[in-house]
Amino acid sequence: MNSHCVVRARVGSAILWLALLVALAAPVAPSRAEDGHQLWLRYPRLEEPWRSEYRAVAAQLVACPTGQTTAAGSEQSATPSSPLVVARSELARGLTGLLGASPPLASGVTEGGALLFGTPRSCALIAQERLPLRAVGREGYVIRSVVVRGRAATVIAGNTDVGVLHGVFHFLRLLQTHRPVDHLDISSSPRIELRVLDHWDNLDGSVERGYAGASLWDWKKLPDHLDPRYAEYARACASIGINGTVLNNVNASARILTRPYLVKVAALAGVFRRYGLKVYLSARFSAPIEIGGLKSADPLDPAVRAWWRSKVDEIYRLIPDFGGFLVKANSEGQPGPQDYGRTHADGANVLADALAPHGGVVMWRAFVYGRSKEDRARQAYDEFVPLDGKFRANVLLQVKHGPIDFQPREPFHPLFGAMPHTPVMMEVEITKEYLGFATHLAYLGPLYEEVLRSDTYARGRGSTVARVIDGSLFGYPITGMAGVANIGADRNWTGSQFDQANWYVFGRLAWEPTSSAAAIAEEWVRMTFSNDPQFVGPAVAMMMRSREAVVDYMTPLGLAHQMASGTHYGPGPWVHDNPEPDWNPVYYNRADSDGIGFDRTASGSNAVAQYAPLIAARFSNLTTVPERYLLWFHHVPWDYRLSSGRTLWDELVLHYTHGVDEVRAMRTAWSGLASYVDPERFAEVTRFLAIQEREARWWRDASIAYFQTLSKRPLPPGVAPPAHTLAEYEAVCFPSTEGYTSKTPACAPPNPVIP
């Protein structure tokens, strides 16, 4: 349907003439100031003809959850805490904003254009429609255009109240993005069961690797004061299908499991429950010692097992729908079962046994590494594959998307496809620890999509990572996907406007992992900013090229972990003096006078052998390995010719330069969109893109300056040299940055060469 230009409202003649004069002078920017707090749930007034068309479809609301008799003859009532009541409120809110008035709530379909929502148990009219609800499960929904008692109606139905709520958000999303709604036949259900945000929030209010202010959870005021933002947070999660939240850092404090804190957690759970959101906690493995008074946390000690059973029983008395535990153990100094000579399976199973009677789960992280001269990329696979099939049925192994640590680009983790008897869930980073924090525009949908679509060949062609984590490849009894949250107390929730899209795309892909990152980006842009195609096209194009730009100016051609130590802020490819070998960027780049890259073939660490034979053969061969992973798997001579015909050195320099050029192009594209965005958000994005370009140049110049001392090659013709000397770049140091403090005690002030 084509857009139409219309006069939105009657105004006084003076105001009208002023508006016309301004229109003749320049494009009119939206006058309403916005700060991003409403996320993608803004519900702005629609223009004609969309408003009239949607009003015809939604002329009245027919909910019938309070007093309608079902076909079975029983009467159902929605409680104030029911997601069905939230669904009704959301429909009224959305339709009021989009259409200008909320349709009246009717007890039955009396005229055309009715919206009928509920479950077969709560509404006899829905029960009579015999919708295909069995196929959509507990959280799914059906949206269908039907005829009820001779009148046109749109039914939003689910088997549960939560399913109805998800359907309501889908319907409103159709209106928000200008989609036709007169002939609907939609059935949708989540492919993945547990769709969880992991908050790395500490009890003191700080957030590890958080770039959006302090923690959202105000533990000092809980449980008596419930900040309205808690409900707003849960509403946003529900709108994109997220159904779980881990409240505290994986580097957990045992105090979260004490009764005073559990009472506070229960208060949050009471808010979240209305939105279908379960609460989980990160559990410290040594809690039996630290808060339980025991002398050991040995998972095979009967006293330890009894303590965990008692603690879990206490939690469920306070929080009947508690989801379970997330555990980081024997990683980065955290306590774990290996401290007692036990396995990860032993450690996970003691918690799983305590949770099982209540229906809870354990999400046991596979992010493990320690002192070793071996390749860090090998360690998780080597530790966990021998344990396949030894975990309890309610344990999921939570695996980062790549084998190192949330890098801008990594090959998929070899554990995907290697654990047929143990449910494996994927963990991705939403907060951008390694991708420019809050100020760099880096839409992560393409990263998630790249991993999800990667073929493990575990059971032949088509054994994608998506099919591993949704359970369809190996028949997992439980499935999950987790995202390390980027949410904080900042007014815009995520530190920047475009970072909201990463929260959004995580939820949408966790619901349906085969979705298109580009389609989701367009959806988010339309809901968050504007439906005008003159805005949508350039904005989506910026988002889709942004992550690749970051890869180019930070870690091109398969390089990884080239960030400064501790803070991970800015480049540090020269760093070599950290006590742990794999904390040093030189450990990963292996650059010398001969070449650059980490040899993970049979002549090196042989980490490539952890992949299926066909994939391993492809990655092992210099002529078949994808160039985006070239330096991940191979130590390559500087003069090696790539597919472009250029040498590796020239190609590396051109990638760094291209990354900067891409950011500059994004700045230019955004500068032409001012007339479609409110001034406040437009100005913020403009400032952040300027920061990104300066820091991209810093990354480019510092990296080239260092690697050129080893390659001893000239720059390609026409390429500008670094603006400063390597010594000046090496002298740059930041004692602390937002979200993390450097481990380096002595640190000079920031060097003025950094813009």
Q: Which position among 48, 182, 332, 577 bears the catalytic label? A: 332
Amino acid residing at 629 = Y
The pair phi, psi for residue 24, each rounded to 5°, is: -70, -30
Q: How far apart are CA 524 and CA 260, in angstroms?
A: 39
Q: Which position among 405, 449, 522, 523 bears the catalytic label? A: 405
Closest CA relative to residue 117, chosen from 60, 75, 69: 60
Q: How far apart are CA 214 and CA 221, in angstroms?
A: 15
| Residue 450 known to be catalytic | no
625 contact partners, CB below 8 Å, separation of at least 6? 618, 619, 633, 634
Closest CA relative to residue 174, chosen from 505, 535, 523: 523
| Residue 410 known to be catalytic | no
Asked whether the beta carbons of 753 and 732 are under 8 A apart, the reply is: yes
Tokens of 217: 């959870």
3-state percent breakdown (helix, strand, coil) of the chain, nearest 5: 40, 10, 50
> Which runs of E-coded beta strand occur in 430-512?
480-484
Number of helices followed by number of strands (H, E) in the chain: 22, 20
CA distances (Å), origin 371, targets 333, 368, 579, 657: 10, 11, 10, 36
Q: How far apart are CA 162 and CA 164, in angstroms?
A: 5
Amino acid residing at 737 = T
| Residue 433 known to be catalytic | yes
Tokens of 415: 């554990």
Asked whether the beta carbons of 161 and 119 are under 8 A apart, the reply is: yes
> Is residue 361 within a helix (H) or strand (E), and if so which, with residue range?
strand 361-365
Q: Which position among 433, 499, 662, 684 bears the catalytic label? A: 433
Entry field: residues in the chain: 755
Tokens of 495: 């530190």
Active site residues: 332, 405, 433
